[in-house]
Structure formats: C-alpha cells, structure tokens
Chains A and B, each alone.
Chain A
Amino acid sequence: AQRVTQPEKLLSVFKGAPVELKCNYSYSGSPELFWYVQYSRQRLQLLLRHISRESIKGFTADLNKGETSFHLKKPFAQEEDSAMYYCALSPRGTGNQFYFGTGTSLTVIP
C-alpha cells in the first residue's frame, strides 16, 4: 500500500540557515513525487514536482529510490518560507490519485 511519511510535524530554523524537510514513501511501483506548500491564510499550492527537476523559490528535492525518500532542501532559509509543507505521491500510470503526508510546519526565525 502507498504511504507517505513526514517524520517532523514542526521544524524551526534560523534565517539564513539550511533547511531540510524530510519525506519518506512506500510504494511498490514507480511513483511521482511532489511537494505542496500552504502559506498562512492561503490555499494549498504545488511547490515542485520531482520529474521537472526545477528549483522553485530556491527549494530543490531529489528522489532517492534506494532510500525511498524525497527530502525538500533549501540552502538559506528566508522568513517568507514559513509555511506548512506537504509531501505527496501519485502512482505513475494512474495520473489521478494523490497520497499526502501529514505535513511539516516550518518556522523560520528572524
């Protein structure tokens, strides 16, 4: 069965420090992985998709199939990065169903 685990419910870092939000998944096939973000009083929105290999707002995420992880990283955290982050998995081929983790609330301390 598919499962997405985000081990940290809360994460605090100082401005300018590196940040890493962890995501581990279990899925027997080949998944597509995503990170979604929800800023305060805003809607949930797509941050990045592993297959696009883009860097969005300075964030990157590498799919590690060996460790079944998709950690989100940024070298220098900014105050505006404070938000709720969700890792999500979509089984490749279905194109339709998403499994979300429980989310990590990131606070960047000025």
Chain B
Amino acid sequence: DAGVTQSPTHLIKTRGQQVTLRCSPKSGHDTVSWYQQALGQGPQFIFQYYEEEERQRGNFPDRFSGHQFPNYSSELNVNALLLGDSALYLCASSPPGQYYEQYFGPGTRLTVT
C-alpha cells in the first residue's frame, strides 16, 4: 500500500485560473480531509469528505470546492486563483470510525503567479 497519494507534485498557475488537485486515500480509508499549508504555517483545514459529501468545512471561500468519488478518492478545485492561494495542499485520509487517525499525503505545491 503506497499510502495516501496526491497528484500532481507541483504545479504553477496564473492568477485567475482554475486548478484541480487529486488525492487517493490509503487502502481501507473512507474519509478524506484537505488542508492548506502556507510557508511557515501549520496546516489549515479546508474541508472533509465522507460518503461523497462534504461533512465539515473550514473558513475558506466558495472558490474552494471538492468532490469525493465512490472509490473514496477526492479532488480539490480552486477557482479564480489568487496569489495568496500559493501553498502546499495536503490531503489526509482516515479509517472508518477513527477520524483522528489521519494519514497525510506528500502534498501538492501550488504556485500562483
């Protein structure tokens, strides 16, 4: 099991564009959470998906949206990119009934120019 995987590893976008990041959870996990980590900061909770629905959402604008597929993989979409969206985006998955047992992926480094 490769654990949590994320793609792409890095990408560069221009202000105003849209981006989609992908996450495959660890085998057997059904919950996926997304975090934004700016340089020198801790991870900030964006939202969590469970049973293909957004279960919890952090303090992020509607430009940030997501999706979870029947195989539990997930996407994070960000529209109308701003320079301030440049960050490391982390995905974490959790096994059924153990929300606290988060397994993190390596992250996707997004740079907005």
Contact = CB atoms under 8 A, between A and B. Distances in A.
Chains A and B bind each other: yes
Interface of A: 4, 6, 9, 32, 34, 43-46, 49, 86, 88, 90, 94-103
A9 B41 CA distance: 10
Contact of A94 (B40, B56, B104): B56
Contacts of A100: 35, 42-45
Contact of B102 (A6, A46, A99, A103): A46
Contacts of B100: 32, 34, 46, 49, 90, 95
B16 interface: no
Q: Which 3 pairs of residues, A with B, have the shortest CB-CB distance?
A: A100-B42, A96-B56, A44-B104
Interface of B is mostly: loop
B58 interface: yes
Contacts of B58: 97
Interface in B57-110: 58, 90, 92, 99-106
Contacts of B106: 43
B33 interface: yes
A30 B96 CA distance: 23
Interface string B21-47: 000000000000101000011111100
B102 A98 contact: yes
Given A44-B90, A94-B56, A99 B45 contact: yes
B56 A102 contact: no
A96 B94 CA distance: 10
A46 B55 CA distance: 22
B105 A43 contact: yes
A44 B56 contact: no
Contacts of B45: 97-100
B105 A101 contact: no
